[in-house]
Amino acid sequence: MTWTLVCGDVMRKAVAAGALVLAAHSPAALAANDDAAEALAKAGNCYKCHSVEKTKKAPSYKKIAQKYKGKADAEDALIKHLSARKAVKVEDGGDEDHEPPPARDAADLRNLVQWILSRG
Ligand code: HEC
C-alpha cells in the first residue's frame, strides 16, 4: 500500500520533470492531465471565482499563466498559494478566503498547477 503510493509519486514526479524539459523546447507541451485537473478545480469550487478565459471575482487562469510565463519558480509559488487557506481580495473589492483544493496528494495538486500554468 505505502509502496504503491511512494512509487506512484516518484513516477509522477519523473514524468513531470520530463514534461518540464519538453516544455523548454515547446511551451505548449506541458503534459498536465487535463481531466484530473478540471475535476479537482470543480471539486474545490475554483470556478466560483475563476474561469479559464474570463475575469470573474478573480483573474482568469489564462491571465495567471501569462503572469507566471518564463518564471522558474512558478509551479512552487502556485503550489504554496494553494496549500493553505488565506484571505484574498476579490475583484469587487471584498475579502474572501482562498481555500486549498481537496487534492489526493502532492502530485494531484502539482497537476492542477501545471494545468493552470499551461492555459496562457
Ligand atoms: C473566493 C473566490 C476564489 C475562489 C473560490 C478561488 N480563488 Fe483563486 N484567487 C482568487 C483571487 C481574488 C485571486 C487573486 C488574488 C491573489 O492572488 O492574491 C486568486 C488567485 C489565484 C491564483 C494565482 C495566485 C498568484 O500567485 O497569482 C491561483 C493559481 C488560484 N487562485 C487558483 C485557485 C484554485 C485552484 C482554486 C480552487 C481550489 C481557487 N483559486 C479558488 C479568488 C478565488
Instruction: Give the separation between CA 27 and CA 17, rounded to whole angstroms.
Output: 14
Query: Which pLDDT belongs to residue 1?
Result: 52
Mean pLDDT of 63-75: 97
The predicted-structure confidence for 25-66, as pLDDT tens digits, reads as follows: 444 445 689 999 999 999 999 999 999 999 999 999 999 999
The residue with cell 515547446 is 26
Atom of ligand 1 minimally distant from the CA of 116: 29
Whether 50 lines ligand 1, by a CB cut-off of 6 Å, is yes
Q: Please answer whether residues 110 and 16 qualify as being in contact, where contact means their C-beta atoms are separated by less than 8 angstroms.
A: yes
Atom of ligand 1 minimally distant from the CA of 113: 29
Query: Which pLDDT belongs to residue 29?
Result: 45
What's the whole-number average pLDDT of the chain? 86
Query: Which pLDDT belongs to residue 100?
Result: 98
Q: Which of 38, 48, 49, 116 to mutate to test the pocket of ligand 1 (most atoms within 8 A of CB)?
A: 49
Cα–Cα–Cα angle for 22, 20, 112, rounded to 5 degrees? 125
Whether 45 lines ligand 1, by a CB cut-off of 6 Å, is yes
Instruction: Give the separation between CA 48 and CA 64, rounded to whole angstroms.
Output: 16
